[in-house]
C-alpha cells in the first residue's frame, strides 16, 4: 500500500521540548506523507499522548466527539513565575507558605466542575489578532477574558510535605490550562504554585500505553509494517452508534444520496449522529439522523 493512501491514527508519544507542530514536521520527514494533523496542542515542555491523524483521517480534526483529556502534573508550592511553570522567570517567592496534605485535599474539590480560568500570557490564545505568547515575549501584558472550562476530577497521587511538592491526576475538558489550574490552587492556598512536570496520559480516547516513539515509527517504515500500527479512523468516533448499510444503500450513500430513514434497518434511537459502514464493513464516515426530515444526511466522508 502506498503511504499516501494510508489512513488512520498514529498515537505518538510527544517528547519534551517538541511542539505539536514539531512532531508533525518530524513525522513528515520520516513518513514522507504531507497529509498529517494532530488533535490538540501540547506545551513544548509537556510529554505524552498526541494523536496524529494520517491521510483522510485529518478530516476528523474539527469533528472529534471526545475532547476530554487526562494529565499527570507535578507541582511545586511556594513559588510564582511569569509562565506559571518552573521554566519561567520567578515573580514571587512565598517562603512562609507551608501546605499540609489536609489543606490541599480540602481545597481540591473547589476546582472540580465548571470553573473559570484566565488564559496565561504565555499561551497560543489570540487577543486582538495577536497570540498572547508573542505579546508576552515583548514584555506586553494585556487583559484576557475569563474562559469556562470543565474539570471532571482531581486526584492527589503523590505528596511530599517537606519539599512542598505534589503530583495530581487531572481529568478535564478541552481548553483547560493545567499550569493555570495549579497556579490558581496555589493562590487559593495563600501563596503560589508552579507546574514542574506535565504528562498527558489520555486524549481523544487514546491512552499513554498506545503511544509509539519516533524510533518505533522509523522501524515500522523500514519493516513495511506502518499500516499495521495505525489505529482505524472510526475509533475516533467510537462513542457514536454504528449504522450498517446493505449493498444497494452503500452505493447510493457513496454517490452522495440522502437516504430515507424508512430505508434503513436499526436506526439508532435517541441519537442525532452515527458512524456509517458499508455492506463490506468498510467505515464510510459520519452522518446526521434528521428525524424531522426523515433522512440520513451525510456528514464527513472518510472513504
pLDDT by position in tens, the chain (length 303): 466 678 999 999 999 999 899 999 999 999 999 999 988 788 889 999 999 999 999 988 777 766 789 999 999 999 999 889 999 899 999 999 999 999 999 999 999 999 999 876 555 555 555 555 554 465 656 566 778 999 999 999 999 999 999 999 999 998 899 999 999 999 999 999 999 999 999 998 899 999 999 999 999 999 999 999 999 999 989 889 999 999 999 999 998 888 999 988 888 888 889 999 999 999 999 999 999 899 999 988 887
Helices (H), 64-213: 101-107, 132-137, 178-188
pTM of the model: 0.87
Rounded Cα distance between 290 and 62, Å, is 21
Rounded Cα distance between 80 and 67, Å, is 30
- Answer for the pair 8, 233: CB distance below 8 angstroms, yes or no: yes
Instruction: Name the DSSP letter for residue 232.
Output: P
Helices (H), 81-177: 101-107, 132-137
pLDDT given for residue 171 in this prediction = 97
Integer angstrom CA distances of residue 51 from 41, 58, 61:
10, 11, 10
Q: What is the pLDDT of residues 136-185, one digit of tens each?
A: 465 656 566 778 999 999 999 999 999 999 999 999 998 899 999 999 99
Contacts for 144 with CB less than 8 Å, ≥ 6 apart: 118, 119, 121, 125, 127, 132
pLDDT given for residue 175 in this prediction = 86
- Answer for the pair 16, 203: CB distance below 8 angstroms, yes or no: no
The count of C-alpha atoms lying within 13 angstroms of the C-alpha of 296, restricted to the half-sphere facing its C-beta, is 30
pLDDT given for residue 174 in this prediction = 87
Structural domains of the chain, ranges and CATH numbers in brackets: 3-66+205-233 (3.30.2350.10), 69-197 (3.30.2350.10), 240-301 (2.30.130.10)
Q: Which residues are catalytic, by number? A: 43
Rounded Cα distance between 122 and 89, Å, is 12
pLDDT given for residue 183 in this prediction = 96
Amino acid at each position: 500500500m502506498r503511504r499516501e493512501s494510508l489512513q488512520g491514527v498514529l498515537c505518538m508519544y510527544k517528547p519534551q521540548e517538541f511542539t505539536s507542530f514539531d512532531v508533525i514536521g518530524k513525522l513528515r520527514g520520516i513518513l514522507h506523507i504531507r497529509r498529517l494533523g494532530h488533535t490538540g496542542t501540547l506545551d513544548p515542555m509537556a510529554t505524552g499522548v498526541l494523536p496524529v491523524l494520517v491521510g483522510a483521517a485529518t478530516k476528523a480534526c474539527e469533528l472529534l466527539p471526545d475532547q476530554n483529556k487526562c494529565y499527570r502534573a507535578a507541582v511545586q508550592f511556594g513559588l510564582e513565575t511569569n509562565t506559571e511553570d518552573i521554566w519561567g522567570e520567578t515573580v514571587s517567592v512565598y517562603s512562609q507558605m507551608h501546605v499540609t496534605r489536609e489543606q490541599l485535599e480540602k481545597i481540591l474539590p473547589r476546582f472540580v466542575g465548571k470553573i473559570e480560568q484566565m488564559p496565561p500570557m504565555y499561551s497560543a490564545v489570540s487577543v486582538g489578532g495577536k497570540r498572547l505568547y508573542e505579546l508576552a515575549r515583548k514584555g506586553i501584558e494585556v487583559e484576557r477574558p475569563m474562559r469556562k472550562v470543565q474539570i471532571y476530577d482531581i486526584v492527589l497521587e503523590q505528596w511530599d510535605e517537606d519539599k512542598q511538592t505534589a503530583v495530581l491526576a487531572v481529568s478535564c475538558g478541552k481548553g483547560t490550562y493545567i499550569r493555570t489550574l495549579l497556579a490558581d490552587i496555589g493562590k487559593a492556598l495563600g501563596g503560589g504554585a508552579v507546574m514542574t512536570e506535565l504528562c498527558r496520559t489520555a486524549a481523544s480516547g487514546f491512552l499513554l500505553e498506545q503511544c509509539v516513539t519516533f524510533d518505533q515509527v522509523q522501524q515500522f517504515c523500514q519493516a513495511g509494517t506502518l499500516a499495521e500500527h495505525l489505529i482505524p479512523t472510526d475509533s475516533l468516533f467510537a462513542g457514536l452508534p454504528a449504522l450498517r448499510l446493505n449493498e444497494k444503500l452503500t452505493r447510493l450513500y457513496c454517490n452522495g444520496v440522502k437516504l430515507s430513514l424508512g430505508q434503513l434497518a436499526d436506526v439508532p434511537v435517541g441519537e442525532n449522529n452515527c458512524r456509517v459502514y458499508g455492506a463490506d464493513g468498510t467505515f464510510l464516515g459520519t452522518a446526521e439522523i434528521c428525524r424531522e426530515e426523515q433522512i440520513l444526511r451525510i456528514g464527513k466522508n472518510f472513504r
